[in-house]
Chains A and B, each alone.
Chain A
Amino acid sequence: MIFLINKHTFFKSLSCLMFGLILFSHTLRAEDIVEVKSAEGVKAWLVEDHSNPIISIKFAFSGGSSVDPEGKEGLANFVAATIDEGSGDLDSQNFQGRLNDLSISLSFDAGREFFSGELVTLKRNHAEALRLLNQALTAPRFDQEPVERIRSQISLSLSRRIDDPSYKIQKMFRNLYYPTHVYGRPNDGTVESVAALTVTDLQSYLKDNIALDNLTVSVVGDVNPDELRPMLNRAFQGLRSKAKPFRITGAKPKVSGGVVIIKEVIPQSEVLLVQPGISRDDPDYYAAILVNQILGGGSFSSRLYQEIREKEGLAYSVGSYFSLLDQAPLLMASVATQNDRVSDSLRIMREQWRLMAEEGPTEQEFADAKTYLTGSFPLSFTSTGRVANILLAMQLNDLGINYLHNRNSYIEAVTLDDARRVAKELYNVEALTVIIAGDPVGVEEVEPIPN
């Protein structure tokens, strides 16, 4: 259902369609974040915001779908979808009814690296909200009715996407780059793997991967440290103290370069370009995000946006971005163009890629990208939930509790020489793997080269 049509929607979520305002005092400052530790040792980063009677809690357990056992792909995702379907003395409808009647929002999600959750509640209902969260984590029932209902919902959505061109691109890319690594598997499994999952599997995922020693918590809202300490205990008491250790090995792409076409009868070809990227903890990370901001970042002034969209009218959305999976950093770009003109879009994308590597940004572009990235940083703190997400990401990426204070100085410290050097090292047009879904005219397939 299209209600609104934006001028620009590239990489913008629905909520970004609205604009961002900050929720608390004088932007989020490093000194606003405090670390709170419960008597039982559960730690959380807290930002107090008493403007509304709302508490947002975000938490993550490391592991995610990457620790799904071989043949049990989609297990973490299945756990996330069923863990809130009844626990303790409450069956599925009673548990959901309780949440609903008290306007408590509790949800779980399994990403590649983390099993995460979110609890948003009115302060007046926080005791019951914490009790329900704790019960979901420690005593889920996994009754047959909800488990089978959700299994059929998941398999429906898995089979639905099989024919989706965008999904086919993702799948092709994973199979090419990581055919044997866990990152090559679908995050939420396949119809076959999900069909085989048992309640014992669900329970053992919890037993192995949900514990105090792999838990990270952030809290934002109408709560002070003294109130929070016992709340942390109520939320997470009864969890095992230690999760089963795991190690995800580095995922080196198996191929490089190439042009792959997935033939589809659609008027517009969707195109993904991929090459190796840069780690979040690389010293050149900030130089890299500056360079990418200039090449294809979110603002409407990027080179790709200007060349492909404004000058040539070749696409509505075009841009480039980093994917920061811990063991597999990537640099990606995407564009969607009518079949007849895909070759033009591709030619310009490659030209721009090469130009950036050879010459780097201009002085003016570099200065503008800096003021954009430093100036726009506070605009992302739009709600208690978004801020809680940022606090969680800061902890998961080991950025330090002073990161908000330091972050802009990291960007300021990058020199134009750094940026040009990093552009040269990073942007490699020869390494770009191009995957197209559609019926592109004048584009030849090229076999990717094994690494």
Chain B
Amino acid sequence: MYFFKILISFRNGSVFAALFTLLGILPVRAEVFNPDVFTLDNGMQVVVIPNHRAPIVSQMVWYRVGAADESLGESGNAHFLEHLMFQGTEKFKSGEFSSLVAKNGGQENAFTSWDYTAYHQTVARDRLEMVMELEADRMTGLILDDKAVLPEREVVREERRSRVGNSPGAQLGEVMRATQFLNHPYRIPIIGWDHEIEALNTETALKFYRKWYAPNNAVLIITGDVTTEEVKPLAQKYYGVIPAKDVPERIRVSEPPQLAARRVVKKSKLINSPSLTVRYLAPSYRTAGDNTPYALQVLDEIIGSGPTSRLYKKLAVAEKTAASVGSSYSPTAYDLSTFTLYISPSPGVNIEIAEKRLREELVDILKTGVSEEEVTKAKTRMADAAVFARDSLSAAPNIIGRALMTGRTVDDIEAWPDRIAAVTAEDVNKVMQTIFNDNQSVTGLLLPEETE
């Protein structure tokens, strides 16, 4: 096994993060995480997942705001603010936050997506109160000035150069998204377009901060060696005293009907062998409102996950058209998602042939459908993945956090195994007839520069 080693290793809990981020699988059972949920008077939701096997605690604070909530022309503002949140407040001067966490043997980071922004620390259990104080303090106390903001803007531009400027694959990915979504802000990269990052400043960051950062727009998740009874007074003491404020509804412009297939091509000297990706617009949990996302996850597992999947078996093993081939689907989004197929031709195989064969196989899958046996096997593997999820304790807060940020509830997460178990071959065969709509698709080609 070679290329698929990476996909398979997702089954291992240690890289479980990748499983739910990339594949959108949320393997959870009520008795797995068994979270306690309560709400402070100011509207801040708190989730506690006690786990007494280690004297370690993690805190995550999630804000229901991300790149897709930015004002027009200010792309990158949500992520820029995330960087700036490590500047000081009146109580803790610039640099003190990180130096206190490090000094106490803690680790920390933060991340931004289209639908959420989150901050987290992991510390010894007796340092929980310290990081709660720090995190609560910066929810409303952030102080910014140009002296700190302007160098950080250059840091973000360097980050963009690293991630996108030096990477033809990422450039193709950006243009594919901008083409996939005709109107919805998912078309804009999280990190922002460079010319708009360049125009971000202290004011844009503070405006965004004041608009969206409030206890009633945040969720606190504490995991580890702590009880809900211990967390409650601390949550009240540090977060409960922050007044609620009016936070705008998340109103995003929606997609019009998509009526034409799109095709984008990136050629680069840094690329010497071609690859192809086809993305189809797909529902998320929230937009579907029915079991479609569950059926699509089973479909993804059967046709495109691993060395015994339909596509790999046919195109890589049987006929050697592909060196790698597969699919991916993540239904965890506030608005629409995508279902992706990808292929890298074997050396010596023309990319046009690979594309033709991939599309023919898709037609064949649509014609023959999946069998009950395939569905049963896939569901068993997915149920097992839920058990492996328990092995990595970071899974719980990350899965719960993402769900709560994208319009779902803790109950939805707990019902995941049941809802997957309820999927039938008929369900899968039905959803696949509607998902692969060429007019809602973007095909992306990454090619060596000299290739025609």
Contact = CB atoms under 8 A, between A and B. Distances in A.
A54 B387 contact: yes
A100 B11 CA distance: 10
26 contacts: A1-B22, A2-B163, A6-B111, A21-B56, A21-B223, A93-B317, A96-B306, A105-B9, A149-B317, A152-B346, A163-B271, A165-B270, A300-B108, A310-B152, A313-B153, A372-B102, A373-B105, A375-B105, A375-B106, A375-B124, A378-B54, A378-B55, A381-B54, A382-B14, A384-B14, A386-B14
A14 B308 contact: no
Nearest to A338: B161
A1 B155 contact: no
Contact of B105 (A105, A265, A313, A374): A374
Interface of B: 1-3, 5, 8-9, 11-18, 21-22, 51, 53-56, 58, 60, 79, 82-83, 86, 95, 98-99, 102-113, 120-124, 150-159, 161-163, 165-166, 170, 173, 189-191, 223-224, 269-273, 306-308, 313, 316-317, 320, 323-324, 344, 346-347, 377, 380-381, 384-385, 387-388, 390-395, 397-398
Contact of A309 (B51, B155, B161): B155
A21 B122 contact: yes
B117 to A, nearest CB: 10
A118 B12 CA distance: 10
B13 A313 contact: no
Contact of A4 (B103, B107, B111, B158): B111
Given A5-B159, A7-B82, A379-B107, A52 B53 contact: no
Contacts of B5: 81, 107
A316 B388 contact: no
Contacts of B124: 375, 378
Contacts of B111: 4-7, 17
Nearest to B110: A7
A155 interface: yes
Interface stretch (A266-274, A323-331, A424-432): A266-274
Interface string A362-374: 0000001001111
Nearest to A12: B109
Nearest to B268: A163
B53 A51 contact: yes
A7 B56 contact: no
B2 A154 contact: yes
A97 interface: yes
Contacts, number: 297
A105 to B, nearest CB: 5
Nearest to A166: B166
Contacts of A159: 272-273, 347
Contacts of B18: 14-15
A198 interface: no
Contacts of B122: 19-21, 379
B390 A84 contact: no
Contacts of B21: 3-4, 14
B132 to A, nearest CB: 15
A262 interface: no
B103 A372 contact: yes
Given A15-B17, A21-B51, A383 B158 contact: no
B68 to A, nearest CB: 13
